[in-house]
């Protein structure tokens, strides 16, 4: 008598199927040229996503150094961010644990006071589709006003500082952060509560999810 093959548990194929869907979607994102006419250095979408990621980082947009390397947060801001998270480069760039999806995937160009805002096309075009394939995200870091505006909406406070200070109101799903740019060093000095109160909470959550 021929023995029947054991059946795979229900849902066992869902993970590999989702991973394949994600890879196809990422190929489309990286080939995107929707706003290329507005990009001074051309289109070069930079993001890092794996289907099993537990931590999601949503920042603003790549700078010139990241545009050139194609590696997200590959600059001084990234060094500070990794220090905040308590992650070394190997853990931070492990896409099976950490997903990085900025509000704008390409370098937007330079304005009077610094880099221009993220292009408005990216998030409405791609974010929802990508998030639908990331069911294991346990915490999303919202870095800067653009990410906070989209994902916190009316729940934001009257300023970025107040939104970050009220971080406990948005847990366990979201944690708002200022941008870790060296340009914000004065902000960190004016607000010592950020290091004393918020960073320990951030590091505990990150260690549990991606450490």
Model confidence pLDDT, tens digit, residues 99-126? 999 999 999 999 888 899 999 999 999 9
User: Going from the N-terminus, what domains does the chain have, and what CATH number goes with each?
Assistant: 29-210 (3.40.470.10)
| β-pair type (98-100, 139-143) | unpaired
pLDDT of residue 5 exceeding 50, the answer is: no
Residue-wise pLDDT for 33-83, tens only, equals 999 999 999 999 999 999 999 999 999 999 999 999 999 999 999 999 999
| Alpha helical stretches, state H, the chain | 14-30, 64-69, 76-85, 89-92, 122, 128-131, 145-152, 160-165, 185-190, 193, 199-210
Q: What is the mean pLDDT of the chain?
A: 94
pLDDT of residue 14: 87
pLDDT of residue 192 exceeding 50, the answer is: yes
Q: What angle do CA 184, 118, 127 make, to 5 degrees?
A: 115
pLDDT of residue 117: 96
Residue-wise pLDDT for 137-169, tens only, equals 999 999 999 999 999 999 999 999 999 999 999
Q: What is the pTM of this model?
A: 0.93
User: Please, which pLDDT band fits residue 3 given cuts at 50, 70 and 90?
Assistant: very low
Question: 49: how many CB neighbours lie within 10 A of its CB?
Answer: 20
168 Cβ partners below 8 Å, 6+ apart? Answer: 201
Encoding tokens for residue 147? Answer: 């990410």
pLDDT of residue 11 exceeding 80, the answer is: no
pLDDT of residue 149: 98
Q: In whole angstroms, what separates CA 33 from the centre of its chain?
A: 21
Q: What is the rounded CA–CA span in Å between residue 43 and residue 35?
A: 8
Q: In whole angstroms, what separates CA 50 from the centre of its chain?
A: 12
pLDDT of residue 154: 98
pLDDT of residue 112: 87
pLDDT of residue 6 exceeding 50, the answer is: no
Instruction: Calculate what percentage of the chain has a pLDDT beyond 90.
Output: 91
């Amino acid at each position: 008598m021929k023995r029947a093959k054991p059946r795979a548990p229900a849902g066992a194929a869902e993970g590999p199927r989702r991973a394949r869907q994600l890879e196809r979607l990422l190929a489309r994102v990286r080939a995107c040229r929707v706003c290329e006419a507005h990009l001074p250095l051309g289109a070069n979408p930079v993001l890092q996503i794996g289907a099993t990621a537990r931590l999601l980082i949503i920042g603003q947009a790549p700078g010139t150094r990241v545009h050139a390397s194609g590696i997200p947060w590959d600059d001084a801001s990234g060094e500070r961010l990794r220090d905040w998270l308590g992650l070394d480069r190997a853990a931070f760039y492990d896409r099976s644990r950490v997903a990085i999806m900025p509000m704008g995937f390409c370098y937007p160009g330079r304005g009077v006071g610094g880099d221009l805002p993220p292009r408005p096309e990216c998030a409405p075009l791609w974010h929802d589709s990508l998030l639908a394939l990331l069911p294991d995200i346990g915490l999303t870091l919202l870095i800067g006003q653009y990410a906070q505006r989209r994902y916190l909406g009316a729940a934001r406070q009257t300023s970025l500082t107040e939104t970050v200070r009220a971080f406990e109101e948005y847990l366990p799903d979201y944690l708002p952060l200022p941008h870790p740019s060296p340009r914000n060093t004065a902000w960190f000095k004016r607000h010592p509560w950020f290091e004393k109160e918020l960073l320990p909470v951030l590091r505990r959550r990150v260690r549990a999810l991606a450490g």
